[in-house]
Chains A and B, each alone.
Chain A
Amino acid sequence: MTARSKLPASYLQTGSSSFTEFLSAHSPDLVPGSRTLPVAAVDVPHGTTIVAVAYAGGVLLAGDRRATMGNLIANNEMLKVFAADDFSAVGIAGTAGTAIEMVRLFQVELEHYEKIEGTRLSLVGKANRLATMIRGNLGMAMQGLSVVPLFAGFDSGRGAGRIFSYDVTGGCYEEHDFHSVGSGSLFARGALKKLWRRELSQDDAVRVTIEALYDAADDDSATGGPDLGRRIWPTVAIVDGEGTRFVTDDELAAVVAQVLESRREIGGTR
């Protein structure tokens, strides 16, 4: 890949508009999940709770900022929610290193297709591409390096947000209304069952998401709550007809303050 040489023959081959397929043929060492590993457990950082919430006209995808390694906190400001392209976002729970590599590849995959074909993949098409990548990681998952994403995007045909969850074998399932993955997901989902309503406004959806992550952090040691001292807030991505964007720190600080205030008022939930 030196700048002075001509393009290798595989670049000029006609065929797939998938970057992953090109990468597997041209530089298989760069594909996550394609490495052979010794059979031994390794202690690596794990990301934790991701929450997706549908609302009127779009969908939110949010995650806490903690990564744990055994009983230690490996990182307290890790980003686990990413814009996959202009109309979708992906959040990841599981082995942080593999997961972030997979998200980077997924982002390139979507943009690559868009540039070559001159049109975007459909939302379900994107969800299926992600499933293929997770499936390719099965060997590593069986050795403890699993990655479980949550994918949310705006379906322009339906004018609504949609949520897709995955298992380690690459099974892709469409979820309705809300979903959560990761170690704190049981608590987050429990909170969402009580808080989610049909046709939530965007602001209410942000509030509900923060509440769910707060409850997850309350009961799961691997999920980080909002850190008032360092001003570290959860990552919240909004995906709607306008595109994908992230809620700013100032807006999140205000929502977190509201949530804490209302909990103090009811005498501090235990």
Chain B
Amino acid sequence: MSMPFYVSPEQLMKDRADYARKGIARGRSVVVLAYDGGIAFVAENPSRALHKVSEIYDRIAFAAVGKYNEFENLRVAGIRYADLRGYSYDRSDVTARGLANAYAQTLGTVFTQESKPYEVEIVVAQVDEDPQDDQIYRLTYDGSVGDEQGFVAMGGGAEDITSGLQEHWRPGMDLGTALRLAVQLLGESPGGGDARVLSAGQLEVAVLDRARERRKFRRIENSLLTALLSPDDPTSDVPHTEDQPGA
């Protein structure tokens, strides 16, 4: 009987982390940033059907990068967690903090115990009546949680995008300005090559809109997105009067 080679725990964890990081870096990026009326989610995602941004509960949304089947699995688990909690207690008892904790435990366990770690990075965000109480949590493949202020970038070009956000993001930006900033940073290629101009069709955009009734999550598509992204168009926020319910 042959003895397996000894691998130090440090090396094992480092190998796993490198593996997960490589998987995540291959994907396109997602930006989550606060604006004056809530929190915006911007992903470079040409697919209309396979979402990277999704509604979890009344005030809570989810964004992810990495391997689709893995974050989709976590997304569904999050919706189940939230709906069960809201059903057995009360809707106000479902919080992003609770969900972020559950995700952290799950990712941490998978990272140390499964044969391969999840190649995902997740944001769980929640809007509140008072913008001061908004929460943005960033979770990485190993289960570590960061309580982020104002903005997060994940995925391939995350570092460059984060430094761009640190430079240009300001609290209280209107939605149009925030989206244009996010889209411009997503379009700048990491290697310093020519910047691409991303059109509405290549983007998945959604907001947690503080002004909406119960379900704050809303996708922004087509003409509204084009209007918000155009610097010449006066549209600077989602319309609140002719709001389609649940649209």
Asked if B85 is an interface residue, CB under 8 A from chain A, the answer is yes
Asked if B106 is an interface residue, CB under 8 A from chain A, the answer is yes
Q: Are A244 and B245 in contact (CB under 8 A)?
A: yes
Q: Are B87 and A105 in contact (CB under 8 A)?
A: yes
Q: Are B245 and A108 in contact (CB under 8 A)?
A: no
- Contact pick for B86, options A6, A14, A22, A108, CB 8 Å: A108
Q: Which residues of B contact A12 (CB under 8 A)?
A: 73-74, 76-77, 106
Q: Which residues of A contact B83 (CB under 8 A)?
A: 19, 108, 111-112
Prevailing SS type, chain B contact patch: helix
Chain A, interface size category, equals 20 to 34
Per-residue A-contact encoding for B89-102, CB less than 8 Å = 1, 0 else: 00000000110011
Asked if B2 is an interface residue, CB under 8 A from chain A, the answer is no
Q: Are A7 and B106 in contact (CB under 8 A)?
A: yes
Shortest B145–chain A CB gap in Å is 13
- The CA of A243 and the CA of B51, in the complex, are separated in Å by 25
Asked if B41 is an interface residue, CB under 8 A from chain A, the answer is no
Q: Which residues of A contact B87 (CB under 8 A)?
A: 19, 23, 30, 104-105, 108
Q: Are A3 and B102 in contact (CB under 8 A)?
A: yes
Q: Which residue of A lies closest to B143 (CB)?
A: A6
Shortest A98–chain B CB gap in Å is 15
- The CA of A27 and the CA of B87, in the complex, are separated in Å by 11
Q: Are A30 and B245 in contact (CB under 8 A)?
A: no
Taking A12-B74, A19-B83, A242-B245 as given, write out 13 further A-B residue pairs in contact, using a Cβ cutoff of 8 Å, ordered by the A residue number.
Answer: A1-B88, A3-B97, A6-B102, A6-B105, A12-B73, A108-B87, A112-B79, A112-B80, A114-B246, A116-B76, A118-B49, A118-B54, A243-B244
9 pairs from A and B in contact (CB 8 Å cutoff): A4-B105, A5-B102, A6-B105, A7-B106, A11-B81, A22-B80, A104-B87, A108-B87, A115-B55
